[in-house]
Amino acid sequence: MNASENPTARRPDGQDAGRIVIFDTTLRDGEQSPGASMNLDEKLRVAEALEAMGVDVIEAGFPIASNGDFEAVEAIARVVKDSTVCGLARASKKDIERAAMALKPARRKRIHTFISTSPLHMRAKLQMEPEAVHQAVIDSVSFARKFTDDVEWSCEDGTRTEHDFMCRCIESAIKAGATTINIPDTVGYSVPEEFGALIRMVMNRVPNIDKAIVSTHCHNDLGLAVANSLAGVANGARQVECTINGLGERAGNAALEEIVMTLRTRYDKMPFTTGIKTEHLTKASRLVSQVTGLQVQANKAIVGANAFAHESGIHQDGMLKNASTYEIMTPESVGLSESKLVMGKHSGRHAFRNKLEELGFTLDAAKLDEAFVAFKALADKKKDIYDEDIVALIDEEAREHDHIRVVSLQVIAGTKGPQTAELELEIDGVVRWHKAHGDGPVDATFKAIRALVPNTATLQLYQVHAVTEGTDAQAEVTVRLYEDGKSVNGLGADTDTLVASAKAYVNALNKLLVKRQKRAPEALSA
Ligand code: KIV
Ligand code: ZN
Cis check for the bond before 521: say yes or no (omega within 30 of 0).
no
Ligand 2 centroid to Cα of residue 287, in Å, is 21
Average pLDDT over the chain, rounded to an integer: 90
- Model confidence at 491, pLDDT cuts 50, 70, 90, reads confident
The residue contributing the CA closest to ligand 1 atom 1 is 186
Mutation to probe ligand 1, out of 31, 153, 157, 186 (largest number of atoms < 8 A from CB):
186
Ligand 2 centroid to Cα of residue 253, in Å, is 7
Ligand 1 centroid to Cα of residue 188, in Å, is 11
pLDDT given for residue 69 in this prediction = 94
The answer, yes or no, to whether residue 470 has pLDDT greater than 90, is no
DSSP 333: G
Ligand 1 centroid to Cα of residue 122, in Å, is 15
The answer, yes or no, to whether residue 202 has pLDDT greater than 60, is yes
Q: Which amino acid is at 439?
A: D
Ligand 1 centroid to Cα of residue 323, in Å, is 40
Looking at beta carbons, which pairs linking 458-467 to residues 24 or more positions away fall under 8 Å? 458/482, 458/483, 460/487, 461/489, 462/501, 463/295, 464/497, 464/500, 464/501, 465/295, 467/386, 467/388, 467/389, 467/392, 467/493
Looking at beta carbons, which pairs linking 407-410 to residues 24 or more positions away fall under 8 Å? 407/431, 409/445, 409/496, 409/498, 409/499, 409/502
135 membership: H or E segment, kind and range: helix 130-145
Distance CA 291, CA 39 (A): 9
Mutation to probe ligand 1, out of 219, 240, 241, 250 (largest number of atoms < 8 A from CB):
219
Ligand 1 centroid to Cα of residue 402, in Å, is 31
Is the CB of residue 181 less than 8 Å from the CB of residue 212? yes
Helix boundaries (H) for 280-399: 281-292, 313-321, 349-358, 365-381, 387-397
Residue, of 162 and 512, whose pLDDT is higher: 162
Ligand 2 centroid to Cα of residue 95, in Å, is 17
Q: CA gyration radius for the chain?
A: 24
Q: Which amino acid is at 431?
A: V
Q: Which ligand is nearest to the CA of 187?
A: 1
- Condensed to tens digits (0 to 9), the pLDDT of residues 340-364 reads 556 778 888 888 888 888 776 778 8
CATH superfamily of 3-274: Aldolase class I (3.20.20.70)
pTM for the whole structure: 0.80
Q: Which atom of ligand 1 is nearest to the CA of 182?
A: 7
Q: Which atom of ligand 1 is nearest to the CA of 32?
A: 8
Same fold, 3-274 and 404-525: no
Ligand 1 centroid to Cα of residue 299, in Å, is 27
- Condensed to tens digits (0 to 9), the pLDDT of residues 102-146 reads 999 999 999 999 999 999 999 999 999 999 999 999 999 999 999
Mutation to probe ligand 1, out of 92, 122, 156 (largest number of atoms < 8 A from CB):
156
Distance CA 286, CA 281 (A): 9
The residue contributing the CA closest to ligand 1 atom 4 is 526
- DSSP symbols for 400-432: TT-SEEEEEEEEE-SSS--EEEEEEEEETTEEE
Question: How far, in Å, are 61, 195, 273, 360, 493 from residue 267 at the CA level?
Answer: 32, 21, 8, 29, 41
Q: Which ligand is nearest to the CA of 154?
A: 1
In a 13 Å sphere around the CA of 76, the CA atoms on its Cβ side amount to 39
The residue contributing the CA closest to ligand 1 atom 6 is 526
The answer, yes or no, to whether residue 459 has pLDDT greater than 90, is yes
Q: What is the CATH number of domain 404-525?
A: 3.30.160.270
- Condensed to tens digits (0 to 9), the pLDDT of residues 6-18 reads 444 456 777 788 9
Buried b / exposed e along 3-19 (16+ C-beta atoms within 10 A):
beebebbbbeeeeeebb
- Condensed to tens digits (0 to 9), the pLDDT of residues 364-417 reads 888 899 899 989 988 888 877 877 788 778 877 777 678 899 999 999 999 887
Ligand 2 centroid to Cα of residue 217, in Å, is 7
pLDDT given for residue 235 in this prediction = 98
SS3 39: coil
Q: Burial, 520: exposed, middle or buried (Cβ in 10 Å; 0-12, 13-18, 19+)?
A: exposed
The answer, yes or no, to whether residue 524 has pLDDT greater than 70, is no
Please state the rounded mean pLDDT for residues 179-200: 98
* Residue 468 neighbours by CB under 8 Å, 6+ apart: 339, 386, 388, 389, 474
Is the CB of residue 236 less than 8 Å from the CB of residue 6? yes
Mutation to probe ligand 1, out of 24, 86, 114, 120 (largest number of atoms < 8 A from CB):
114
- Model confidence at 520, pLDDT cuts 50, 70, 90, reads very low
Ligand 2 centroid to Cα of residue 437, in Å, is 45
Mutation to probe ligand 1, out of 27, 57, 217 (largest number of atoms < 8 A from CB):
217
User: Where in the chain are the domains?
Assistant: 3-274, 349-397, 404-525
What residues line ligand 1, using a CB cutoff of 6 Å? Answer: 29, 114, 154, 156, 182, 184, 186, 217, 219, 526
Residue, of 60 and 473, whose pLDDT is higher: 60
* Residue 153 neighbours by CB under 8 Å, 6+ apart: 112, 113, 114, 137, 140, 141, 170, 173, 178, 180, 181, 182
pLDDT given for residue 326 in this prediction = 76
pLDDT given for residue 312 in this prediction = 65
- DSSP symbols for 217-236: EEB-TTS-HHHHHHHHHHTT
Residue, of 453 and 351, whose pLDDT is higher: 453
Distance CA 476, CA 468 (A): 10
154 membership: H or E segment, kind and range: strand 151-156
The answer, yes or no, to whether residue 244 has pLDDT greater than 50, is yes
